Structure 1
Amino acid sequence: MKNLICKAPARRRTATWLIASGMLLGCGDGHPPLAPVSGVVTFGGKPVETGTIAFHQPGGRSAAGALGPGGAYKLTTFEAGDGALLGTHKVVIDAVRVSGGPPPAKSFADEIKQSQMPQTSAGPTVQRLVPENYASQTSTPLEAEVKSEDNVINFHLKK
């Protein structure tokens, strides 16, 4: 009987240590399954190199990425370049070029100064690089399926 009493605290300590170690190390990052997603966006046969692309899944977290050289993108959901949730997504592409108007503020003080300056009629102009319907979840016709593999999903938009 004496041996059982002496061994019980050691067993409890071992069990407690194993549980605490498991909690500290974790069993993953706690995120739902993701898969890498990259690709290219073109419009009228030309790469769209400015703007953003986003994959939206009902009830899930969205993934987004910037459009860059050659129209290339890579999606991020939680950490840079980690991809998107598995499943079907609505795809939104918002690409505009802004020209004219005051130069961008370099600091908060510059922003305040610019806001106090008289407004001129020649403000910035916004040029859409892709049709506006692609820039909204409610009007975009684009969908994509993310599978549990490396996904290369290109979008070749037409006028």
Structure 2
Amino acid sequence: MFAQLRKFINTLAEQPESDQAPDFTTALAALMVEIMRADGEVHVDECHMIARLLTQHSGISTQASELIRDQAIEMVDEAIDLHRFVRVVNAHTGELERIEVIELLWLVAFADGRLDPHEEHMVRKVAGLLYVAHADFISAKLTARQQLKLTD
């Protein structure tokens, strides 16, 4: 299911980086960081999940994914809003890849074993900014829960 997203990440990694906009992987990491921080707490499980997802879906090393995650944390600290990151993701993905991005965000939200209402709100907000339909938003949520084998 993540094959198209992986393909996009790999092709975008080969492109030169703009001074104003983050590269795709960093923008994706920044959105994940926003979800991680939405509940006002940073759990180590969520940090590890971000690095793991970046490694799995971009084909980079664990060390590189941790570095990108840490850079994304700094960028999110300085950002006024999400639009800088959302714009990059929207520009480089199609409908199916954006649904996969929402699934990745759900995986981060569920990484600590529980879903905080603030995390859910933030995933919903990003889904709207990525033009992901509500049915796909819910489907991505259910898929992420199933992947992590979470129960109600």
Larger Rg: 1
Greater strand proportion? 1
Report if TM-score (shorter chain) is over 0.5: no
Give the TM bin, normalised by the shorter chain: under 0.3
Greater helix proportion? 2
Normalization by structure 1: what TM-score? 0.22
Normalization by structure 2: what TM-score? 0.23
